[in-house]
């Protein structure tokens, strides 16, 4: 499937986006939103199926990939504002958002604001606020003051740093993670450290989501970041929430089980009334 890569400027930041050729007239719009510290490359294994059924887009979030860098005043809601501005421009009709981890929270934030352009959202093991389980490998870097990205000078150091963040990654996946880690703004790490005391559970945000929402929860015992109690809490706040738990999956379920993930979200979106898209 043909695709093009370009920049979209929100007026405050340049976002790098990829757009795939519309497979047929009136195919629903769908935007993929990645998690913290990676880039839109994390969706590579999902593209084949999704690009056959949707007018597909992906984006590098502010501070990651090839998009613009963050400012000292950066707020988590800057990502929501960026994506809200983006879909208002690139969607020619209401469409779908799919997000993983931080990207899931961003999907939720945009859906709570923009009822007109967001028809449904699918969230893969999303960050949901203070009750989310913290990434123990990132905490290791913060607490033990292991070499931060700002001090990395060689490729070997970059590889070692990436392996600390993703100890189970190997082969092609590790190579992609090394590139995505290299492309991430070093100031994002400092922002994360300074904001680890964030105590919000974003209750009003979830209550204001009116569209159908699918949450795919990973198993916390395998590295998932949503405890069962938190998954049930968030689902109960949604007007039209659907919760699935994958007991044999860790946090990166969209990569480890990419075929199942794309089939599941496609089945969910296909079950909705296309008249609302």
One domain for residues 253 and 144: no
Query: Which ranges of the chain does DSSP label H, i.e. alpha helix?
Result: 47-53, 76-90, 102-113, 136-144, 155-165, 171-183, 186-194, 203-207, 228-237, 253-256, 258-270
pLDDT at 235: 97
Q: CA-CA distance, 2 to 126, in Å (whole number)?
A: 30
> Which residues have C-beta within 8 Å of that of residue 168, sequence separation ≥ 6?
none
Residue 104 has pLDDT above 50, yes or no: yes
Residue 136 has pLDDT above 50, yes or no: no
One domain for residues 118 and 19: yes
One domain for residues 46 and 72: yes
Q: CA-CA distance, 53 to 56, in Å (whole number)?
A: 8
One domain for residues 191 and 250: no
How many structural domains comprise the chain? 2
One domain for residues 112 and 218: yes
Per cent of the chain over pLDDT 70 is 91
One domain for residues 185 and 247: no
Domain containing 180 equals: 135-195
One domain for residues 163 and 204: no
More confident residue, 78 or 174: 78
Residue 82 has pLDDT above 50, yes or no: yes
Q: Is 171 exposed, middle or buried (0-12, 13-18, 19+ CB in 10 A)?
A: exposed
**Chosen domain end from 195, 218, 242:** 195
One domain for residues 31 and 120: yes
One domain for residues 104 and 235: yes
DSSP code at position 119: E
One domain for residues 89 and 143: no
Q: Which of 43-47, 66-70, 78-82, 157-161 has the lowest mean pLDDT?
A: 157-161
Q: CA-CA distance, 216 to 231, in Å (whole number)?
A: 9
One domain for residues 35 and 130: yes
pLDDT at 275: 42
Confidence band, pLDDT 50/70/90 cuts, at residue 141:
very low
One domain for residues 151 and 251: no
Residue 96 has pLDDT above 50, yes or no: yes
pLDDT at 133: 81
Q: Which of 121-125, 129-133, 202-206, 213-217 has the lowest mean pLDDT?
A: 129-133
């Amino acid at each position: 499937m043909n695709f093009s890569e370009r920049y979209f400027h929100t007026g405050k930041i340049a976002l790098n986006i990829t757009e795939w050729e519309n497979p047929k007239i009136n195919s629903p719009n769908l935007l993929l939103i990645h998690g913290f510290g990676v880039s839109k490359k994390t969706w590579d294994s999902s593209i084949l199926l999704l690009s056959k059924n949707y007018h597909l887009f992906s984006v590098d979030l502010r501070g990651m990939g090839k998009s613009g860098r963050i400012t000292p005043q950066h707020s988590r809601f800057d990502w929501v504002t960026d994506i809200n501005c983006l879909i208002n421009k690139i969607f020619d009709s209401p469409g779908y958002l799919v997000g993983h981890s931080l990207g899931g929270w961003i999907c939720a934030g945009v859906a709570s604001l923009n009822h007109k352009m967001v028809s449904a959202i699918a969230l893969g093991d999303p960050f949901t606020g203070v009750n989310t389980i913290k990434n123990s490998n990132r905490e290791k870097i913060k607490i033990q003051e292991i070499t931060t990205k700002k001090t990395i000078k060689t490729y070997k150091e970059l590889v070692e740093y990436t392996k600390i963040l993703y100890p189970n990654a190997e082969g092609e996946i590790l190579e992609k993670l090394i590139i995505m880690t290299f492309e991430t703004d070093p100031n994002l790490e400092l922002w994360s450290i300074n904001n680890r005391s964030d105590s919000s559970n974003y209750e009003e945000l979830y209550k204001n989501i009116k569209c159908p929402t699918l949450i795919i929860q990973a198993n916390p015992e395998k590295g998932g970041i949503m405890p069962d109690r938190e998954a049930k809490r968030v689902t109960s706040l949604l007007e039209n929430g659907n919760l699935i738990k994958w007991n044999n999956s860790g946090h990166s379920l969209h990569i480890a089980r990419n075929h199942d993930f794309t089939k599941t979200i496609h089945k969910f979106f296909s079950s909705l009334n296309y008249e609302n898209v």
